[in-house]
Structure 1
Amino acid sequence: MIRVGDIIIDWVEELVVYDPPELFGEMTSDDLAGHSSWLTPDYFTEENGFYVGVLSWIIRTPTRTILVDTGAGNDKVRPTSPRFGGLHTPFLEGLAQKGITRDRLDLVILTHLHLDHVGWNTLLDNDKWVPTFPNTRHIVSAIELAHRDPERGAAARPPATWQVYNDSVRPLVDAGLLETVEGTEDLGEGLSLIPLPGHSPGQMGVRVQSQGQSAMCIADVLHQPIQVYHPSWNSRYCEDQETARTTRAKVLAEAADYNTLLLPAHFGNSHCGYVHKTPSGYSYEAFKG
């Protein structure tokens, strides 16, 4: 559990998968070896590769409970990424242990609409996908929603890529639970949205500020902490490579300048940490509580 002034931040880790070193096309074996002393075993092992936790962040203000992203989900068909298909994870049980039930949640913020961030938007009920949180407002950037919609930005893509939208996004739209935002809005109580394009066109994050302290949910701006030392490295999942680099540079600069705790979506160890300036760039310090 993390405290940022009057705001409490927690998380649920739905599952752990692993990515090979080829996640970063520019990384060499020498690069990896040079960081092995701190990467192993919390973030990388020779046997498995890079640790990838599928995380949902929980933000509690004095009056609201907010969930940032909803993981991979159960029972989903994922032809483009089979490791996330047919899952049966205890995500809802994990939320319940944090005091969150399906009818007791004030807001869901979807940073972007990749399959490992939207899966628990819905669950299967008598062969029909229904909203997991039927009383909760969900928000996503208008750019991101248009880009993923099979009837708009995704129309020319292969039908297999529409599966995520159809089972995890469209049911929210049909139920009137999904609202679009610009990604720059003030949400009150020290929370605001920030645009973080690059990894996906409409990715956004959440800035948390209270009593002179700050944190930032940055989704997939950083996939692994090794990128703090090599900010120009994009993962193979980043859709707009140059914009992703620009966004990452801005996030790292802000984090270092203001001692902002970064809350990525997939880090190992304590799942979050601080960035410090060094003569050659930046260094990473895992959050220790």
Structure 2
Amino acid sequence: MTTTPLTTTPAWTVGDITVHRIDETPLPPATGPWLLPDATPDLVVQHDWLRPHFADAEGTLRIDSHTFAFTVGGLRVLVDTGIGNGKQRANPAWHDLDTDYLETLTAAGFPPDSVDLVILTHLHADHVGWNTRLVDGDWVPTFPRARYLTSRVEREFWAAYEMDEAREQMFRDSVLPVEEAGLLDLVDVPAEGLTVSPGLRLLPTPGHTPGHVAVELTSRGGTAVITGDCVHHPVQLAHPAIGACVDIDPHRSETSRRALLDSLAGTDTLVLGTHFAPPTAGRVITHDDAYRLTPVPADAHRQPSATSPTGAGTDE
């Protein structure tokens, strides 16, 4: 009798949906001061609930790059695609990476050719990188059977934006090849949100970028929300006015963040932070005049190894 190897995947159960965290890479300590300059160490250390998971004793923020994969309504879905391998980036933490992201995704049961839908919360370099991979010198879609979905407002904003060379490069290697393959779908997201399929809804959270969306999952009375960059780090629950240095519209970003947190506070909704370090997920509670996150550990959901006879197959 052959024993099937098992791979542990950080995952959370929402009704009938299992949401897998697909790890790419932790980001270096310098990321926090650059990205959230108002989250100073003196401010961060005032919040002991951030330690040890989301910040260290000196007030340095912990920030990760990961994505989420799940099956809902018969669709195999990936939310955001991280930084990507071999991409030429101005940010040294993102430049020319060589990670096991695709192997991790496959081991979780989502080989690239099995993905039906890729949702892009917005079109920043650390959210679109694995849209493509390099094959024989060309950037080609990583998920050839998938539709890639993003807000029409988002794509049209960048089409009219005067980009620097670094952003032009990102679009050349990670967005345009998907468009040219006819795989990018643009959708209008009204104020009340857009239902993509039963149990899967896009929530407009503009500000970080004009067309930014969060992603809501519902199943059998359970609800989860994937934040995208509406919330970069749990310190923003305690201080919603703290914005990112790359917010296109800081005031609108804060408004969206406050509205989202207010809608989540005191509910059973599982919040999954796109850049939250492990344990990554939690529930929002009111605290003083703002909020805090009560962590929810992963289920450590186990899937058959992709290399086993009963696994999901390998990425060839």
1:254 aligns with 2:263: yes
2:135 is matched with which residue: 119, 122, 125?
125
RMSD of equivalent CA atoms: 1.8
How far does the alpha carbon of each residue in 1:23-72 deviate from its partner, in whole angstroms, 9 at most, with x for none? 4333444322212x333332223679322211111122252210000010
2:96 is matched with which residue: 83, 86, 96?
86
Task: Spell out the pairing of 1:88-237 with structure 2 (5 A cutoff).
Answer: 88-148=98-158, 152-154=159-161, 156-183=162-189, 184-237=193-246
| Rounded Cα–Cα distance in structure 1 between residues aligned with 2:120 and 2:32 | 26
Instruction: Please name the residue that 2:290 is paired with.
Output: 281
Aligned residues of 2:44 and 2:55 also touching (Cα < 8 A): no
| Rounded Cα–Cα distance in structure 1 between residues aligned with 2:167 and 2:58 | 30
Would the alpha carbon gap of residues 27 and 101 (structure 1) be closer, same or farther in structure 2, given more than 3 Å must change?
A: closer
Would the alpha carbon gap of residues 48 and 245 (structure 1) be closer, same or farther in structure 2, given more than 3 Å must change?
A: closer
1:120 to partner: Cα distance: 0.4
Q: How does the TM-score come out when normalised to structure 1? A: 0.92
- Amino acid of the structure 2 residue aligned with 1:26: D
- Unaligned stretches of 5+ in structure 2? 1-10, 299-316
Aligned residues of 1:143 and 1:202 also touching (Cα < 8 A): yes
| Rounded Cα–Cα distance in structure 1 between residues aligned with 2:101 and 2:59 | 23
Would the alpha carbon gap of residues 90 and 23 (structure 1) be closer, same or farther in structure 2, given more than 3 Å must change?
A: same
| Rounded Cα–Cα distance in structure 2 between residues aligned with 1:122 and 1:28 | 36
Say which SS state the counterpart of residue 49 (structure 1) adopts.
coil
2:38 is matched with which residue: 7, 26, 50?
26
1:168 to partner: Cα distance: 0.2
How far does the alpha carbon of each residue in 1:225-258 deviate from its partner, in whole angstroms, 9 at most, with x for none? 1111111111212221000000001110111153
Would the alpha carbon gap of residues 256 and 34 (structure 1) be closer, same or farther in structure 2, given more than 3 Å must change?
A: same
1:42 aligns with 2:57: no
Question: Which segment is superposed worse, 169-178 or 58-67?
Answer: 58-67
| Rounded Cα–Cα distance in structure 2 between residues aligned with 1:210 and 1:218 | 18
- Amino acid of the structure 2 residue aligned with 1:162: E
1:288 to partner: Cα distance: 2.5
How far does the alpha carbon of each residue in 1:146-180 deviate from its partner, in whole angstroms, 9 at most, with x for none? 222xxx312x2323321111100000000000110
Aligned residues of 1:252 and 1:275 also touching (Cα < 8 A): yes
- Amino acid of the structure 1 residue aligned with 2:131: N
Aligned residues of 1:269 and 1:286 also touching (Cα < 8 A): no
| Rounded Cα–Cα distance in structure 1 between residues aligned with 2:84 and 2:184 | 18
- Unaligned stretches of 5+ in structure 1? none
1:54 is matched with which residue: 58, 61, 65?
65
Aligned residues of 2:267 and 2:284 also touching (Cα < 8 A): no
Would the alpha carbon gap of residues 281 and 109 (structure 1) be closer, same or farther in structure 2, given more than 3 Å must change?
A: same
Instruction: Please name the residue that 2:3 is paired with.
Output: none
2:83 is matched with which residue: 59, 65, 72?
72
| Rounded Cα–Cα distance in structure 2 between residues aligned with 1:278 and 1:50 | 20
| Rounded Cα–Cα distance in structure 1 between residues aligned with 2:115 and 2:24 | 18
Aligned residues of 1:254 and 1:260 also touching (Cα < 8 A): no
1:20 to partner: Cα distance: 3.6
How far does the alpha carbon of each residue in 1:8-35 deviate from its partner, in whole angstroms, 9 at most, with x for none? 2111010111324354333444322212
Aligned residues of 2:32 and 2:63 also touching (Cα < 8 A): no
Q: How does the TM-score come out when normalised to structure 2? A: 0.85
Aligned residues of 2:45 and 2:57 also touching (Cα < 8 A): no
| Rounded Cα–Cα distance in structure 1 between residues aligned with 2:268 and 2:253 | 22
Say which SS state the counterpart of residue 112 (structure 2) adopts.
coil
| Rounded Cα–Cα distance in structure 1 between residues aligned with 2:112 and 2:244 | 33
Instruction: Please name the residue that 2:311 is paired with.
Output: none
Instruction: Please name the residue that 2:305 is paired with.
Output: none
User: Which structure has the higher relative contact order (CA within 8 Å, separation 6+)?
Assistant: 2
| Rounded Cα–Cα distance in structure 1 between residues aligned with 2:14 and 2:98 | 33
Aligned residues of 2:122 and 2:209 also touching (Cα < 8 A): yes
How far does the alpha carbon of each residue in 1:173-220 deviate from its partner, in whole angstroms, 9 at most, with x for none? 000001101133212221111111111111111111122221111101
